[in-house]
Structure 1
Amino acid sequence: MKHGENKETISAICKEQVVEAYLTKNGFRGDGVADLKHHGGPDRAVCMYPYEHYVLWEQEFQTKLPEATFGENITVGNMLEKDVHIGDIYQIGEAVIQIAQGRVPCSTITKRTNLPGLLKRIVETGYTGYLCRVLEEGIVRRDSKIELIERHPEGVSILFGNEVYFHRPKDLDGMRKLLSLPELAEDWKETIQKRFDKLSSAIQ
């Protein structure tokens, strides 16, 4: 991916539309991951981003964004962060996926869009999109519908998780609520547990 003045970065953020793809436990077959430390893996097999945010960002930054600007595998409608919960299970084509965590946006988004302020606004708003694990592998087509199979009983939204993760470093109750979810991605569990333990020790 080229960015800036003749600079180049190895990234898998630029996606292309396909008619169909096979979704495995580790992601879509044929879809590359450049930074394995921060992307990919079973808890981050699928990245989804709400289409509605494109309108917001295009208006705010007075620009036209390309498809899959945020490196998402699937651009979704009517699935905002406030309405999607950690642990929710969806059917998409033949595959079954489960929401695992909010997406932690990285500087690659800035490099791709050349909009320095966008990354900050994504974090401020919590409009990050989210990552999913695959419970059942299968073919997903471009025209496949996404259907909710099971809503998680705790109803802890991605937006709430983002608020705690990015903006509430001392919210023990919020951290406790997130840590109580077995479905939360392991990476987030580790990060939040460390914060929780450190803060608890400081208070005692």
Structure 2
Amino acid sequence: MRILTISAGKVMPLFGNHHPDYKSVASAIRKKAVSALDTPTTVDITTLGVKGDEQADLSVHGGIEKAIYVYPAEHYAFWNELLTRETKQSVHLEHGAIGENFTIEGLLETEVFVGDRLRIGELEFAVVKLREPCFKFNAAMRYKGATKAMLQSGFSGWYLRVIKTGALAAGAQIELIPGSRETSIAQQNYKLLNNRNQKDLWE
């Protein structure tokens, strides 16, 4: 288990016809690699996440409880295939495209539980919850069914709280320290999928 890419993004206009009320919204969902395996630059990680990373709406992203968004690289094949089929264009997403800060390998939603800890290098993180996609994800993917596809696939990724700050670079090994293991990220996703009150996710 290791980090493949550390990514950050700036708030900028996100355009699309994926919400009835907005043609453009502010978002930092589009992240770019600041540390990768071929250029493993050291990046500072604070209690608010990757230094230099921004969030447009702190009510749903960022802050201490959602400082780092983690996404498994194993899911990229799913998105590339789905988006290529649905948009009729060849799609090859780069790490960070899902909006994640850490693109990792070797750890999936079925294996991660709320309250687990991840030790990465000298740093330590706590698993908080799954990522709940919204219309901005549809706009970023240029596909109106993206949020629904994330929920139905269970490929949500998850948020981390930073317990011990420091510096990290791509390639760092991840150690999983189990917590109480009552609810996995996959189980959280299943509950959300069956909660049809989450109307905004389906628009």
| 1:134 to 2:162 alignment | yes
Which structure has the larger Rg? 1
Higher-RCO chain (CA-CA 8 Å, sequence separation at least 6): 2
Q: Which amino acid counterpart does residue 73 of structure 2 have in structure 1?
A: Y
Residues of 2 paired with 1:154 and 1:49: CA distance? 20
Can you list the C-alpha shifts for 1:70-100, whole angstroms capped at 9, x where unaligned? Answer: 1100011121111111111111232100111
RMSD: 2.0
The structure in which a higher percent of residues are strand is 2
1:166 aligns with 2:185: no
Name the TM-score, length of structure 2 as normaliser.
0.75
CA distance, structure 2, for counterparts of residue 2 and residue 168 of structure 1 = 27
Deviation at 1:34, TM superposition (A): 0.9
Pairing partner for 1:3 from 15, 18, 22: 15
Q: Does 1:59 align with 2:86?
A: no
Counterpart code for 1:163: Y
Distance 1:2 1:135, change over 3 A: closer
Cα distance in 1 between the residues matched to 2:140 and 2:192: 25
Q: Is the 8 A contact 2:116 2:181 kept in 1?
A: no
4+ aligned runs moved over 6 Å, structure 1:
none
Could you list the runs of 5+ residues in structure 1 that have no partner in the other structure?
Answer: 170-204
Question: Could you say which residue in structure 2 is the equivalent of 1:27?
Answer: 49
- 1:107-159 CA distance string (max 9 Å, x none): 111111211122111012221110011111111112222122x2123352100
TM-score, structure 1 as length reference = 0.75
In terms of fraction of residues, the more helix-rich structure is: 1
**Which residue of 42, 51, 54 corresponds with 2:64?**
42
Aligned identity (percent) is 32
Q: Residues 9-158 of structure 1 correspond to what in structure 2 (within 5 A)?
A: 9-18=25-34, 19-62=41-84, 63-148=91-176, 150-158=177-185
**Per-residue deviation at 1:13?**
1.2
